Amino acid sequence: FPGVGLAAIAGHLTAIPDEAFIVAADMLASLAPSGALYPPLADLRSVSRAIAVAVLTAGLAQGWSSVEPKKIAEYVEAAMWEPAYRSYVPA
């Protein structure tokens, strides 16, 4: 679950309770198109973002996350890796 790992990084979680995986599984299922097991792989970034936000939001409600509620999406977005590659030009 990349989204759970993203939530752990964004929320500075010191532990990941079992409930986080239940929340992640529920969110993943809700994002899958009708009749599909999983969302399309092309949607991995947005799916991971949605799962991380859901996990941290649930963590606030259950007391194992202390992220500011209004900044959850901001923290998740800031923690996401953005690939940036240099152009390679042979010498």
Per residue in 16-61, pLDDT (tens digit) is: 999 999 999 999 999 999 999 999 999 999 999 999 999 999 999 9
Mean pLDDT of 63-80: 93
More confident residue, 4 or 85: 4
pTM of the model: 0.87
Q: What's the pLDDT score for residue 90?
A: 79
Q: List the end-to-end C-alpha distance of the chain, in Å, as a whole number.
A: 41
More confident residue, 10 or 83: 10
Phi, psi of 52 (to 5 degrees): -60, -45
Helix, strand and coil in the chain, % to nearest 5: 60, 0, 40
Structure tokens at 67: 């992220």
